[in-house]
């Protein structure tokens, strides 16, 4: 099995919960942010860490998703909506329920795109988000 590029059929992905998609998408989004920052020039490890934390927190993701919402296809909007409506058991103290819902939706979308192997689309959407970093 290729753990870096899992190959699941559409039915297997459709059976996954929005929170499972968000679990994968959380990692995908953080890798994108880390790579973007690390490749953007020489920075200290402490600076890379603090910038990463600032960009992947729920409030930042909730802002970021607003930039790409108008660009989403109907299918992507459905995944986003399901992710937004997911009911996690806890919400971090550092974010509001609404921010966390939007962040979960963004992560679900990125997780879904990753599992569907739509890497070009991930790069396209992340590129729009990263314009404001």
Catalogue the active-site residues.
26
Structure tokens at 66: 């607003």
Rounded distance, CA 125 to CA 5, Å?
Answer: 19
Which residues have CB under 8 Å from 32's CB, separation 6+? Answer: 110, 122, 126
Helix (H, G, I), strand (E, B) or coil at 116: coil
Q: Report, in this order, helix, strand and coil percent for the chain, each rounded to 5.
A: 70, 0, 30
């Amino acid at each position: 099995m290729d753990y870096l590029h899992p190959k699941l059929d559409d039915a297997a992905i459709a059976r996954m919960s929005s929170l499972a998609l968000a679990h994968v998408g959380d990692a995908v989004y953080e890798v994108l942010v880390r790579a973007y920052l690390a490749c953007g020039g020489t920075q200290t490890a402490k600076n890379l860490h603090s910038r990463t934390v600032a960009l992947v927190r729920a409030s930042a993701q909730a802002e970021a998703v607003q930039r790409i919402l108008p660009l989403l296809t109907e299918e992507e909007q459905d995944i986003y909506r399901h992710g937004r409506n997911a009911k996690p058991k806890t919400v971090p103290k550092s974010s509001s329920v609404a921010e966390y819902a939007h962040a979960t939706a963004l992560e679900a979308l990125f997780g879904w795109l990753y599992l569907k192997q739509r890497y070009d689309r991930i790069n396209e959407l992340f590129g729009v988000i990263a314009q404001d970093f």
